[in-house]
Amino acid sequence: MIHRWLITGAGGMVGIDLRNALELRGETVIPVTKAELDITDGSAVRELIRAKRPTIIVNCAAYTKVDDAEANEPLANAINGSAVELLAQAANDVEALLVQISTDFVFDGSQTTPYEVNAATNPLSAYGRSKRIGEEAAAHARKHLIVRTAWLFGVHGPNFVEAMRNQVKKGTNPLRVVNDQRGRPTYTPHLAGALIRLSLRAAESDEARGIVHYADEGEVSWYGFACAIVAGLGERTFDEIAVEPVSSAEFPRPAKRPAYSVLSTERYTRLTGVDPESWREGLQEYLTLRT
């Protein structure tokens, strides 16, 4: 079947990489930026989707300012939650698959083994709560796929790798980075490939729908990730810049983070026959593109 892909939030970090990956495949892509569509406007959402009649809608639009969400929870809920309900209704109008991107922040981090897709959610933050509302809303689409991911970095948006590079450029030494939060960093071009594989399966089969986790291979702390970034910047930087592990308590933030948010990607591999890519390889590519 030939698909028509509509991407909301097409000007963001994930949206740009997804659009590029689809266009390289020769797919028909309808990219819609934040300026072109306010996803909280129900009539605008319905009119656009009825006019374009996509077969797959990938919602890359999101409120992602985790700390700001603590003071702006109604806005986060509107964008990450209520708007997804509008997209689900519009997807049903045209019998499209709705693909909703979610997050490891729906978990409380109390586990010590990777979170499976059916693990109980218990978000610690306003952002996590808003994304859980979005998951519940997405499930109202008759055809839906919810892809939880984590620790995203890519060249088209702000991210942890760039924050570390900026600190190094400013001469910050040592870099103080939390060492008591663990997860799986994910390079957004790798996520884009995973979204395409999963969406094509889910468009054709009920059994491939529901919740799937995708994160790049390799579990690490933010401190470990920072060490890899500094090492990737070159021997001279690695020799000159110290990376110092600290606790979350020493680095207070408005939003509480899960201490352990490693996602199990077993279902992704089972559905696609493909293992997750390596965040270390993604980091190497990122740093090459940034130099």
Q: What is the per-residue pLDDT for 14?
A: 98
Spans of the chain, pLDDT less than 50:
none
Q: What is the per-residue pLDDT for 46?
A: 97
**pTM for this entry:** 0.96
Q: Which domains does the chain have, with CATH numbers?
A: 4-159+184-218+262-278 (3.40.50.720)
Q: What is the per-residue pLDDT for 251?
A: 87
Which candidate in 115, 127, 260, 286 is catalytic?
Answer: 127
Q: Has 127 been annotated as catalytic? A: yes
Q: What is the per-residue pLDDT for 235?
A: 67
Q: What is the per-residue pLDDT for 158?
A: 95
The percent of residues in the chain predicted with pLDDT above 70, rounded, is 99
Q: What is the per-residue pLDDT for 234?
A: 85
Cβ contacts of 197 within 8 Å, gap of 6 or more: 271, 272, 274
Q: What is the per-residue pLDDT for 1?
A: 80
Q: What is the per-residue pLDDT for 286?
A: 98
Long-range contacts of 66-69 (CB under 8 A, 24+ apart): 66/105, 66/125, 66/127, 66/255, 66/257, 67/253, 67/254, 67/255, 68/254, 69/125, 69/126, 69/127, 69/130, 69/255
